[in-house]
């Protein structure tokens, strides 16, 4: 069992790395495609991968499954669309940390919806997170740039996705819910792209490679690996490892995109990461779920 947990941790580390590369990959893909077409291609591929891999689940989808998936998928589409549009106006490394603030938002949205007051750790994490956001985004005029503000807005929808996903997953099941929400995102992004964005007629091979990478590796394969890893990994390990997504995204942006971080921005990133860990680790230590429950815990960013 110990070896399985070690392997599971390594698998989750790969997942965190793949998710971290989406910020750099998305920034690179924007040189060749508009945001909605990137999302459309990414989720069309991910949907077909899931539908083929889980054919039995796909063939037994009901109207109830589709309705639940439509709710979750619509929220996920808004989250991805706003995040990728925001990436045109901010640095990939900065966005990697700002995107992770959804973890801090979840307890407070749940408080509003379920009337259940968050624990003290959530308030501590939120305070540290807000300090980090200020250090990372506020300019000399004490205003937040459009790209940073839109990224925080998208994080609000990623938090909403986690909550809605958790609401429907027990009734629908993680596989069926993932298939349907991937399909909904694919449909909504395709229709929106055809209406609002020019159709790409000339695309270099590098652009095609970028969207294939985002769709196949960062969405389809990453989901498979996440499911396998969470089956055996301790939830405390899962919280720490998946939080490294922001670190990987920032480091890759520094080395591959040549982005520059000031000392103030580094402090901001560190504060946000600390806040995420405070929130996630508190929830993980409170109750260690069984392996089966962990496998059903499909609430991480897809």
Which residues lie below 8 Å from residue 254, measured CB to CB, with a gap of 6+? 93, 260, 261
Q: Which of 87-101, 137-151, 244-258 has the lowest mean pLDDT?
A: 137-151
Mean of all residue pLDDT scores within the chain: 84
Q: Which of 62-76, 133-147, 242-256, 285-299 has the lowest mean pLDDT?
A: 285-299
What is the rounded average pLDDT of the residues 4-14? 85
Report the helix count and the strand count for the chain, using DSSP H and E. 14, 0
**Tell me: the pLDDT tens digits for 131-163?**
888 888 776 666 788 999 999 999 999 989 888
Instruction: For residues 25 and 249, give the distance between their C-alpha atoms in angstroms, rounded to a whole number.
Output: 10
**What per-residue confidence (pLDDT) applies to 77?**
97
Least Cα distance to 94 among 241, 256, 259 occurs for 259
**Tell me: the pLDDT tens digits for 29-44?**
999 999 999 999 999 9
* 71-105 exposure pattern, b = at least 16 Cβ within 10 A, e = fewer: bbbbbbbbbbbbbbbbbeebbbbbbbbbbbbbbbb
**What per-residue confidence (pLDDT) applies to 66?**
95
Query: Whole-model pTM?
Result: 0.83
Instruction: State residue 138 phi and psi, 5-degree precision.
Output: -70, 130
């Amino acid at each position: 069992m110990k070896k399985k947990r070690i392997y599971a941790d390594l698998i989750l580390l790969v997942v965190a790395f793949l998710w971290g590369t989406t910020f750099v990959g998305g920034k690179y893909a924007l040189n060749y495609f508009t945001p909605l077409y990137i999302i459309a291609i990414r989720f069309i591929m991910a949907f077909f991968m899931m539908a083929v891999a889980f054919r039995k689940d796909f063939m037994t989808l009901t109207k109830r499954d589709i309705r639940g998936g439509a709710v979750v998928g619509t929220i996920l589409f808004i989250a991805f669309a706003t995040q990728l549009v925001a990436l045109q106006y901010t640095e990939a490394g900065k966005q990697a940390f700002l995107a992770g603030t959804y973890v801090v938002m979840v307890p407070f949205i749940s408080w509003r919806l379920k009337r259940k007051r968050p624990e003290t750790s959530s308030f501590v994490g939120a305070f540290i997170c807000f300090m980090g956001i200020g250090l990372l985004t506020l300019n000399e005029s004490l205003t937040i740039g459009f790209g940073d503000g839109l990224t925080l807005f998208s994080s609000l929808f990623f938090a909403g996705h986690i909550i809605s996903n958790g609401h429907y997953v027990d009734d629908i099941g993680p596989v069926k819910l993932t298939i349907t929400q991937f399909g909904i995102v694919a449909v909504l992004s395709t229709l929106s792209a055809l209406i609002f964005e020019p159709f790409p007629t000339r695309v270099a091979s590098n652009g095609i490679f970028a969207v294939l990478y985002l769709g196949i590796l960062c969405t389809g394969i990453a989901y498979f690996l996440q499911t396998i890893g969470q089956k055996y990994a301790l939830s405390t390990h899962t919280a720490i490892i998946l939080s490294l997504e922001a670190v990987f995204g920032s480091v890759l942006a520094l080395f591959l995109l040549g982005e520059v971080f000031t000392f103030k921005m580094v402090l901001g990133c560190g504060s946000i990461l600390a806040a995420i860990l405070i929130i996630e680790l508190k929830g993980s230590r409170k109750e260690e779920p069984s392996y089966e429950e962990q496998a059903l815990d499909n609430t991480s960013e897809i």
